[in-house]
Amino acid sequence: MGEPKFARPKFDTPSHPWKAERIEEEHAIQKNHGLKNMREIWKAKSQLRRHRRQAMRLIGMSDDSIAHSKREMDDLTRSLHNKGLIASDASLDDILSLGTEDILNRRLQAQVYYKGLATTMKQARQLVTHGHICIGDQKVTIPSYPVNRDEEEEIKYHISSDLNDEDHYIRKAIDGRASSAEYAVETEEVDPEATPAFAAEVKEAAAAAPSAEAETTEAAGGDE
């Protein structure tokens, strides 16, 4: 039963805590998403397992025409679509293809970074915890808050935040980074693709070019 005054954990810990491959993978995810500890990754993995378990159970049903199973399938896909995890026309196979980072990308911390309100994931976490971010008119200070699809466009700086001033040094750093990224994309040189037209041009140029034998004959004639 456990201690009544302590809440039961809502995530599963790794069955093999010292597996090197898993540890390296989780360290990379923690670094990329600016997470505080591994528990946040384990929570995402537990949530992903629940979604996959539901999808596999529905796929295993022999008759899809049963009203109950069809309704349950529609409820699952609608729920995950509202959470921003799958597209509106996604199938159960798309649910099985979800990864841990797909779950982590729906966190408020990640959404703040992807919307360009912070320069790094760690800075996004700081802005959220210090009350600079709100969804609509509601201030949210929980970096792990799951952002629904309808809430994506409502993420912004809180009205009381100093970051609403465009001359703030963080805003200048964000704008400078965005402009440098746009400049790099515009000036980047891309090698020509090996299309059939490009291959034909190469063949024509090779045919028109003088051969080494012809150059040797011309040189000998010039010496005479």
Domains present along the chain, CATH in parentheses: 20-104 (no CATH), 108-187 (3.10.290.10)
pTM above threshold 0.85: no
Distance of alpha carbon 114 from alpha carbon 105, whole angstroms: 9
pLDDT above 70 as % of the chain: 73
DSSP readout, 27-46? HHHHHHHT-SSTHHHHHHHH
Q: If DSSP codes are grouped into helix, strand and coil, which group holds residue 119?
A: coil
Q: The tokens of 51 are what?
A: 């979604």
Please give the pLDDT value at position 187. 43
152-197 pLDDT per residue, tens: 999 999 999 999 998 888 888 888 876 665 554 444 444 444 555 6
Which residue ranges in the chain fall short of pLDDT 50? 1, 184-193, 212, 215-216, 219-220, 222, 224
